[in-house]
Amino acid sequence: MNARLPLIGVTLDGEPPALQGAGGYSCFPWYAIRQNYMDMIAACGGLPVALGHDPALAARMVSRLDGLVVTGGAFDVPPDLYGATEAHACVRTKPRRTAAEAALVRAALAKGIPILGICGGMQLLAVLLGGTLVQHIPDALAHALAHEQPNPRDEAGHDVYIMADTHLARLVGADCLPVNSSHHQAVHDTGRGVVCARAPDGVIEALELPGHPFCIGVQWHPEFGISAGDRLLFEGLIDAARQAGT
């Protein structure tokens, strides 16, 4: 008999209807996700399942999951969630998606199942752990790297330095990884989380929650598999989910 595959919930993006006569996927609201999120989870031994945007159902969804992946997207965490009174002109939000993802993360933290936050998912995780965000890196950091890299997302944009003696370091077995980069915001304060990776310009690139079986956020997109460390991160998630499901 085949071993049970850990069930990994994956959050979706949400898009509005296409304008009349403008083409697009649908004239009704629709969900979206890049195929490589699901493919990477499956390749590492997990069973991916998409999660819709219904905060009222979040706890019930999580009750059936062994792990949670909070994906990225071209939007930002609402500044009021981390106590900011003003929003930068570049900030774009998706309140319905954020409310659902926040409910999912809170339920996953309460249940103690593995959580992987990716890009915007890492930023939301930091905020829910009591942290804050930099609303626009170019305005806040002189000589910042191109965190919105000009080259394709399936190529590296810069390196990140992994902090020794962290869960992330033990998973990837390296002190430096090449990563892709697609974000204009960054974590400023990690709250209850701890920093486990930084870019050469000092931007926080990963955080983790001490005492949790697996709660890691990374600012890059490991689902593209830029380095061996990306796959090792997903394999670590699946291994932890397998333990959670036993």
Model confidence at 2, in pLDDT bands (50, 70, 90)?
low
Residue 196 catalytic? Answer: no
HEC readout, the chain: CCCCCCEEEEECEEECCCCCCCCCCCCCCEEECCHHHHHHHHHCCCEEEEECCCHHHHHHHHHCCCEEEECCCCCECCHHHHCCCCCCCCCCECHHHHHHHHHHHHHHHHHCCCEEEECHHHHHHHHHCCCEEECCHHHHCCCCCCCECCCCCCCCCEEEEECCCCHHHHHHCCCEEEECCECCCEEEECCCCEEEEECCCCCEEEEECCCCCCEEEECCCHHHCCCHHHHHHHHHHHHHHHHHCC
CATH numeric code, 7-244? 3.40.50.880
| Selected catalytic residue, list 53, 101, 119, 184 | 119
- pLDDT score at 55: 98
Active site residue 223: yes
Q: What percent of the chain has pLDDT over 70?
A: 98
**Domain extent listing, the chain:** 7-244
* Residues 18-58: tens digit of each pLDDT: 887 677 889 999 999 999 999 999 999 999 999 999 999 99
pLDDT of 144 over the 90 cut: yes
Residue 143 is among the residues annotated as catalytic for this protein: no
Q: Which of 101, 205, 208, 223 is catalytic?
A: 223
Asked if pLDDT for residue 61 goes beyond 70, the answer is: yes
Average pLDDT score over residue span 208-237:
98
pLDDT tens digits along 70-98: 999 999 999 999 999 999 999 999 999 99
